[in-house]
Amino acid sequence: MVIAIKDNINIKDEITTCGSKILGEFKSPYNATVVTKLKTEDALIIGKTNLDEFAMGSSNENSAFGPVKNPHNPEMVPGGSSGGSAVAVATGCADIALGSDTGGSVRQPASFTGTVGLKPSYGRLSRYGLVAFASSLDQIGIFGNFTQDTAFVLNAIAGHDVLDSTSADITVPDYINQKNSSVTGLKIGLPKQYFADGLDPEIKSRIVQITDRLKEKGAELVEIDLATAEYAIAIYYIIATAEASSNLSRFDGVHYGMRIDEGTGLTDMYEKTRSEGFGEEVQRRILLGTYVLSAGYYDAYYKKAQQVRRLLKNDFDTAFKKCDVILSPTTPTTAFKIGEKSDDPLSMYLQDIYTVSANLAGICGISIPAGMHSNRMPFGLQLQARAFNEQALFDLGTFIEKL
């Protein structure tokens, strides 16, 4: 298989930029574990893909190397931050592409480009060799043209890794040979919060058509209440920015990457290197993260967000006692125009409203194509299952594709 790799995943002796000027011509001295496993399976790695700088964005406009364009309409964004990987698969440049998903950065671009995007459970894939954005949320994901493509690749690269302390020591099932081709008796949860105001009427109508078809085929539809979901964006952007502030402190012009040494001392060098090396969105998130971790605000923001995160996780635990899989839209709209939301960060952040919860709860999710909008742009539906139950996503996703 021809495979493309998002440029925040390390390949030995190849440049890893993370879409940022601050890394410059940095060459990785080692392979990420997922890359090692792909090479062991004789995959053909064709190259690196563009991304929002340090994976921070929902549109792929924040790269130091310029925006990625949507192949269905080059005036539109492909979604982010893994937009380059999504486009590599959507255009046929690669059979498979790896991305990273911190709050929807694989599933959202999959929806915008008409591809399949899998976010495995937190810990299912090793993060060793993935440049960290928000360590408690990041997970390497997989793009493909069909659900079974992503299942096939997950089989090859999943598993415990002693080099990653967050990698789960749990047996990896044979996703290809354990599939269930029936939905009879399957309980599908429909979260009422995900079908409320803000969802494009055409997307809502199409998702309802699909759920009605599933009901005809024997599935049971169950309304579920994810009461804490309305706080998911707020929780996410506190925790993610706090962790980003910590993780990106290492990019200081001392150890590797870009260095501007024109000042009178160390502090000047730090300021100039980081001010000119980081883009606007990355600087915004570092500032937000430093603020919520600062003395006097830590308890009010970061600690409170972690407490509400636990409540959100509890909501999902309760929901999965009533259903096997949760079905929803992946995004509230189809792809928007390049530059349309650049001056409105909050509007941009709300593009992840249906996807961030899976990262906060550590569960698995997948976006599969659901149809074409009247504006000639694709959109997806999202399936979510309890942690380490990717098999349920593959079974139902394949069934919906056949429908």
Which one of the listed residues 58, 63, 81, 245 is annotated catalytic?
Answer: 81
Both tokens of 125, joined, read: 């894939």
Whole-angstrom distance, CA of residue 168 vs CA of residue 149? 23
Strand residue runs (E) in 176-331: 187-191, 220-224, 325-329
Concerning whether 105 is annotated as a catalytic residue, the answer is yes
Whole-angstrom distance, CA of residue 98 vs CA of residue 36? 13
Q: How many residues does the chain have?
A: 403
Q: Which residue's structure tokens are 């942690």?
A: 387
- List the end-to-end C-alpha distance of the chain, in Å, as a whole number: 26
CB atoms within 10 A of CB 192: 12
Concerning whether 81 is annotated as a catalytic residue, the answer is yes
Reported for 177-180, long-range contacts at CB under 8 A and 24+ positions apart, including other chains, are 178/391, 179/151, 179/391, 179/394, 179/395, 179/398, 180/391, 180/395
The SS3 assignment for 390 reads: helix
CB atoms within 10 A of CB 182: 11
Handedness of CA 25, 26, 29, 35 (dihedral sign): negative
Whole-angstrom distance, CA of residue 247 vs CA of residue 230? 27
Which one of the listed residues 63, 105, 111, 126 is annotated catalytic?
Answer: 105
Whole-angstrom distance, CA of residue 38 vs CA of residue 206? 36
CB atoms within 10 A of CB 314: 13
Cβ contact 232:357 at 8 Å = yes
Residue type, 11: I
How large is the angle between the packed helices 390-402 and 147-157, nearest 10 degrees?
Answer: 160
Concerning whether 6 is annotated as a catalytic residue, the answer is yes
Which one of the listed residues 6, 48, 119, 341 is annotated catalytic?
Answer: 6
Q: Which residue's structure tokens are 């139902």?
A: 396
Whole-angstrom distance, CA of residue 122 vs CA of residue 168? 8
Identify any residues that bridge with 365 across adjacent strands, giving them in sequence order.
119, 384
List active site positions: 6, 81, 105
